[in-house]
Amino acid sequence: MMHAPVPDRDTQNSAVARTGLAAALDRGLAILNSIIVVFAAFALVAACAILSYSVLSRALFKAANYWQDEAAVFLLVGATFMTAAYVQQNRGHIGIEAFVGLLSPFANKVRLWLVDAATFLFCAFFTWKSWTLAHEAYVDGQVSNSMWSPPLAIPYSLMALGMSLLCVQILVQLALPFTGARRP
């Protein structure tokens, strides 16, 4: 009588650890993304208020604005890049959904994995370039060309951090199917 091979304890523990790590990282990213979205919402409201103040102060009081446009741009850049991982988590990025109905479920999983892998490669390159740009701006003390002259390391760092979170989110989404874990 033959018995089915029973995986040893180390193999089982390793699989549980992989599943647990990926699932824990996914849950942690979901919590972090939710917090970031709240701050991004405040940043968008602040950008709207700053731009409205800028328009009113120029129209009513002929006041010059030295900081309003750049402050709004910094807030918008931060909100856009920092929420990229949240959007990816919810699969809200642009995708070609016309093929979904035409392909089998297995082909759709492969298509989704290939799209995520290609997206990760692009985002990893963008992340690397963003961090080098932020580092260069910080080391060189680069500032904007306006009279306000805020440091450019601020928006570049927000861009780099947001892209880093996006890469981690994509990696988790790429790894989850291989660990056996399912996304809620």
Q: Is the pLDDT of residue 11 over 70?
A: no
Q: Which neighbouring-strand residues pair with 143? A: 151
Is 159:126 a contact under the CB 8 Å cutoff? no
- Domains of the chain: which residue ranges? 18-179
Q: What is the pLDDT of residues 52-107, one digit of tens each?
A: 999 999 999 988 888 999 999 999 999 999 999 999 999 877 666 666 778 888 88
The Cα 117–Cα 25 span in angstroms is 18
**Backbone torsions φ then ψ of 4, nearest 5 degrees:** -70, 140
**Backbone torsions φ then ψ of 143, nearest 5 degrees:** -130, 165
What pLDDT is recorded for position 6? 47
What pLDDT is recorded for position 96? 62
Model confidence band, residue 15 (pLDDT cutoffs 50, 70, 90): very low
Sign of CA dihedral 37, 41, 42, 46: positive
Q: What is the pLDDT of residues 101-157, one digit of tens each?
A: 788 888 888 888 898 899 999 999 999 999 999 999 999 999 999 889 999 999 999
Closest CA to 70 of 134, 138, 151: 151
